[in-house]
């Protein structure tokens, strides 16, 4: 599980003694108009929600600010920083990614099970990663992937909630993956194939530019095939040739550790709201998730207008 600070009995006692003051202050701030979360109001909520100046903002405080209408439908996720997290702790690359896989499971529960997110697209590995990473590192990652996908096929929560799981990417690249990884993908997809309403898509051996170029090559050209109106070009034919074109446009993009797209879902992220977290993915917590949703809910989405 992701890191979490220890909450001592003394801290809890202090929190209880301060409860009346804290709740009155919170109620006063809640009565005000919402302000961008990085502003004064959010800093005050952060301060009041912090235990002993170490614990993250409690999810309870942020949840009180949210309704299910505030949640995005489609979240795209780049869970970066697993290697650096492991290195800082003297762990292997595989151990870092295994911990990151646990947080992906947690994220699925926070978003799809506990709340109204219905689609998560997760960038597991780019084509460039597969071509450039050292062989011993790739071997560790492939072991983690195989265990992760096989585990999904047997996960009670996945089946109780009816969450479809798929892997998409460059087919030539995926066909070059070790047999154990390919088999685990088949097992996972077969086990969740009948589910429709909730979906988790893993991008493996994927590149955004490659996706667009391949879709363009498959799309018929000529005035009779593509309709243009005053509202712009009809992209329906083009979109159906994209690897993830059947998914709704991304509402919220979250990336940890870095501040760039890295060739991820360039077409589908066109009007997404972006959140970059200055933490490494294995340290991402439930409180981080709710802070990100709160930030998203306070954005004024303009869709290019």
* Positions marked active-site: 80, 129
Backbone angles phi, psi at 112, to 5 degrees: -90, -40
CA-to-CA distance for 227 and 166, rounded, in angstroms? 32
Backbone angles phi, psi at 228, to 5 degrees: -120, 130
Question: Which three-class secondary structure state does DSSP give residue 46?
Answer: helix
CA 228 to chain centre: 34
> Per-residue DSSP letters for 218-235?
HS--STTTS-EETTEE--
Tell me the C-alpha to C-alpha distance, in Å, between residue 91 and each of 60, 85, 88, 152, 199.
33, 8, 8, 25, 32
CA-to-CA distance for 272 and 249, rounded, in angstroms? 8
* Strand arrangement, sheet containing 163-168: 163-168, 198-206, 119-126, 74-78, 252-256, 273-277
Beta bridge partners of residue 276, listed in sequence order? 255
The residue behind tokens 């077969």 is 190
CB atoms within 10 A of CB 181: 20
């Amino acid at each position: 599980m992701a890191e979490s600070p220890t909450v001592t009995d003394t801290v809890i006692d202090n929190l209880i003694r301060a409860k009346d003051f804290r709740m009155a202050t919170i109620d006063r701030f809640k009565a005000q108009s919402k302000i961008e979360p990085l502003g004064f109001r959010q800093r005050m909520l952060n301060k009041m929600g912090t235990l002993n100046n170490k614990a993250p903002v409690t999810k309870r405080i942020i949840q009180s600010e949210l309704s299910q209408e505030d949640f995005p439908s489609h979240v795209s996720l780049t869970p970066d920083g697993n290697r650096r997290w492991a290195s800082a702790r003297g762990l292997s690359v595989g151990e870092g990614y295994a911990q990151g896989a646990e947080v992906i499971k947690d994220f699925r529960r926070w978003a799809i099970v506990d709340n109204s997110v219905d689609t998560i697209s997760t960038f597991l590995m780019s084509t460039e990663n597969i071509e450039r990473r050292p062989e011993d590192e790739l071997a560790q990652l492939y072991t983690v992937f195989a265990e992760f996908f096989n585990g999904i096929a047997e996960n009670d929560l996945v089946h109780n909630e009816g969450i479809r799981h798929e892997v998409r990417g460059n087919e030539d690249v995926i066909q070059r993956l070790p047999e154990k990884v390919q088999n685990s993908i088949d097992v996972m997809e077969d086990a969740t194939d009948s589910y429709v309403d909730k979906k988790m898509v893993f991008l493996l051996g994927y590149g955004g530019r490659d996706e667009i170029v391949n879709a363009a090559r498959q799309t018929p050209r000529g005035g009779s095939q593509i309709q243009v109106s005053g509202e712009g070009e009809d992209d329906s034919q083009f979109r159906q040739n994209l690897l993830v074109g059947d998914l709704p446009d991304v509402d919220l993009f979250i990336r940890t550790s870095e501040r760039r797209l890295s060739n991820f879902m360039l077409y589908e992220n066109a009007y997404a709201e972006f959140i970059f977290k200055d933490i490494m993915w294995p340290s991402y917590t439930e409180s981080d998730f709710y802070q990100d949703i709160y930030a998203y809910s306070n954005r004024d989405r303009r869709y290019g207008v």
